[in-house]
Structure formats: structure tokens, C-alpha cells
């Protein structure tokens, strides 16, 4: 029987808790700083019990679903409490800061640590919006230590696929943060900035799928995303400056009444999308 601890019962932690609670031969204990969230989770049977240090020390897997600063502090504070050979997985959106801490503490205290990033989410946050099927067909990124046991990784993969994950990507902390700056963080910046146009006030009746697609992630958790951006400052700044340069080319072509240049820019972008979709 797997005993699983979920730290933080928000959207991601709550979804993990609900998903694991639906499995047989699995016991789920949860913790959240908000007592009302803990009571709610128990009431709706999103978990089997309230987590304390005694139970934490008996858990086989620990999923730390907190903001980056809080996640790192939790692992530091509980490093001596984790069960020997337990698998501790954080679910933060950046990895270059937390992973070295996790690897060092795991080596010192005898537990296993793997950086994690579930590629799933919703516009709303909190336990109320969590779902047992949140991770169905989603991808999970794992950042293990360089010499991690293949048997341990297979064990983690089996657990994650049992709640719906469709793919597992193994990478390094450096590569994760560089790529995620483009695939996730830049999208949130652009979407968040896009809705600040004064034209957004009168979009109703004039907007359809493209507007909805581009603005979907404009609604975000400012505290969490600000932490993530600063932790990945170099990579996200590069992506922001790069897209500004690209956008300037379109504005210049229009300002100069240069149809050929604008046509070329549009075709390049369209062709690039086709190329990427075919990979």
C-alpha cells in the first residue's frame, strides 16, 4: 500500500490528493496552512486524513505543492522527518533554485528527491477548482539527480501514470527553466499584457476563438508567478526582449507601408507553425 503526503491543497495539490484518493491500496494525507481548506478536503473525502509529522515520517511519497519559497523551506524544515527512502517531489514551476537544495538534503538525510512540474492547470486556483482528472493525458516533467536509479524512476512513473499522466519528460534543471520560460512563462506575460489594451473594454461582440486563446492565462496568481519570474529572471527576460524585437518588425513594416516585408513576416510565422506541428 502506498502512503502519500500532499503538502498544499490548492489547485495542483488538491488535484493530486483527489486523484490519489481514487486509487485502491493508497492512503492520502494532506496539509495546508489554511485550516478551512483542510476541513473542506476531509469533508469531501479528497484525502484520508490530516497530515502531521508522525504520519509524514511514514509516507512513501511526498508531493510538495507550494509556491517556490515555501516549497524550499518546507523541504529544509522536514528533511529529518521524511521516511528513509521516501520519494519527495516538488511541483514548482522553476527548478534551478530548488533542485540543488533538494538533492543536497536528500543525500544528507537519506530520502530520495526529484524535481517535478505537472504541465496542467486552470484559470482558477484553490481546492474548490481542483479535479481528480486534472492530469489526464498531461505531461509531467521530472528532474532527477544525475545518477538516479532507473528502478526508482520507473516506480515514480508508474505512480504518476496511474492518475492519468500521459507522458513523463526527464530533463535537467537548467534545460527545464530555459524551455519553460518560452513555453509557459512568456505566454503568461504576453496574455497578461495583452488585456491591458484600452480596446479590451469593448471586445464583447467583436471577439471569438483567437481572443479567448490569447487571453486564457491572463488571469493568474500574481504572487506565485512573480516568484517564478524572478527565479527564472535571465531566461524570461531573454524571451520577453526577443518577442519585443519580433513585434517591432511588424510595426516597422506597417509604419513604412512595406507590404512585401509584412507579407514575408507573416509567411515566416505561418510556415514556422506548420514546421513545428509536423515535428
Instruction: Return the sign of the alpha-carbon dihedral for residues 227, 52, 4, 24.
Output: negative
pLDDT attached to residue 92: 96
Q: Flag whether pLDDT at 123 surpasses 80.
A: no
Rounded (to 5) percent helix, strand, coil in the chain: 55, 15, 35
**197, 198, 199, 205: CA torsion to nearest 10:** 110
What's the pLDDT score for residue 237?
98
pLDDT tens string 147-161: 999 999 999 999 999
Phi-psi region of 137 (alpha: psi -120 to 50; beta: other; left: phi over 0): left
Percent of the chain with pLDDT over 70: 100
Which of 186, 204, 184, 205 is closest to 194 using CA atoms? 186
Give the chain's mean pLDDT.
Answer: 96
Query: pLDDT class for 38, splitting at 50, 70, 90?
Result: very high
Q: Are 9 and 37 in contact (CB under 8 A)?
A: yes
Query: Mean pLDDT over residues 204-231, rounded?
Result: 91
User: Distance between CA 47 and CA 224 in Å, rounded?
Assistant: 25
Helix and strand counts by DSSP (H, E) for the chain: 12, 8
Note the pLDDT tens digit of each residue in 68-119: 999 999 999 999 999 999 999 999 999 999 999 999 999 999 999 999 999 9
Three-state SS at 145? coil
| Amino acid 205: pLDDT | 81
What phi, psi does 245 have (nearest 5°)?
A: -60, -45
| pTM assigned to the model | 0.91
pLDDT for 202 equals 84
Domain ranges of the chain: 2-171, 176-278
How much is the CA Rg of the chain, to the nearest whole Å?
Answer: 21
Give the pLDDT band of residue 5 (cuts 50, 70, 90).
very high
| Residues in the chain, overall count | 279
Q: How far is CA 40 from CA 10, 122, 124, in A?
A: 11, 20, 17
CA 130 – CA 216 distance, rounded (Å): 18
Strand order in the sheet with 26-31: 49-50, 26-31, 2-7, 61-64, 87-90, 112-119, 139-143, 167-170
Quick one: pLDDT at residue 152? 97
The percentage of residues in the chain with a pLDDT greater than 90, rounded to a whole number, is: 92
Is the pLDDT confidence value at 259 over 80? yes
Architecture of the 2-171 domain: 3-Layer(aba) Sandwich (3.40)
Judge whether residue 1 has pLDDT over 90: no
Segment 227-244 shows an average pLDDT of 97
C-alpha cell at 169: 519528460
CATH (residue range 176-278): 1.10.3660.10
- Return the number of other C-beta atoms located less than 10 Å from residue 21's C-beta: 21
Which pLDDT does position 127 carry in this prediction? Answer: 93
Q: Do the beta carbons of residue 61 and residue 16 sit within 8 Å?
A: no
DSSP state of 185: I
CA pair distance 104, 202, nearest whole angstrom: 53
- Residue 178: pLDDT band (50, 70, 90) is very high
Amino acid at each position: 500500500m502506498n502512503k502519500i503526503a500532499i503538502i498544499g491543497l490548492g489547485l495542483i495539490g488538491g488535484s493530486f490528493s483527489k486523484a490519489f484518493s481514487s486509487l485502491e491500496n493508497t492512503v492520502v494525507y494532506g496539509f495546508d496552512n489554511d485550516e478551512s481548506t483542510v476541513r473542506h478536503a476531509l469533508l469531501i473525502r479528497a484525502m484520508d486524513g490530516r497530515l502531521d509529522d508522525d504520519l509524514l515520517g511514514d509516507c512513501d511519497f511526498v508531493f510538495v505543492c507550494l509556491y517556490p519559497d515555501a516549497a524550499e523551506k518546507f523541504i529544509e524544515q522536514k528533511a529529518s522527518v521524511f521516511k528513509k527512502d521516501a520519494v519527495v517531489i516538488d511541483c514548482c514551476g522553476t527548478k534551478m533554485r530548488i533542485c540543488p537544495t533538494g538533492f543536497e538534503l536528500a543525500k544528507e538525510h537519506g530520502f530520495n528527491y526529484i524535481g517535478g512540474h505537472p504541465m496542467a492547470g486552470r484559470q482558477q486556483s484553490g481546492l474548490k477548482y481542483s479535479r481528480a482528472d486534472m492530469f489526464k493525458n498531461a505531461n509531467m516533467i521530472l528532474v532527477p539527480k544525475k545518477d538516479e536509479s532507473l528502478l526508482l524512476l520507473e516506480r515514480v512513473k508508474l505512480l504518476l501514470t496511474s492518475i492519468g499522466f500521459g507522458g513523463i519528460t526527464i530533463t535537467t534543471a537548467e534545460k527545464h527553466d530555459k524551455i519553460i520560460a518560452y513555453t509557459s512563462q512568456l505566454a503568461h506575460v504576453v496574455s497578461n499584457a495583452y488585456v491591458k489594451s484600452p480596446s479590451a473594454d469593448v471586445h464583447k461582440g467583436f471577439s471569438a476563438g483567437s481572443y479567448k486563446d490569447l487571453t486564457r492565462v491572463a488571469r493568474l496568481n500574481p504572487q506565485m508567478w512573480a516568484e517564478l519570474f524572478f527565479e527564472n529572471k535571465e531566461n524570461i527576460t531573454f524571451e520577453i526582449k526577443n518577442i519585443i524585437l519580433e513585434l517591432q518588425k511588424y510595426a516597422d513594416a506597417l509604419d513604412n507601408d512595406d507590404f512585401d516585408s509584412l507579407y514575408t513576416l507573416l509567411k515566416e510565422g505561418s510556415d514556422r507553425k506548420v514546421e513545428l506541428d509536423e515535428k
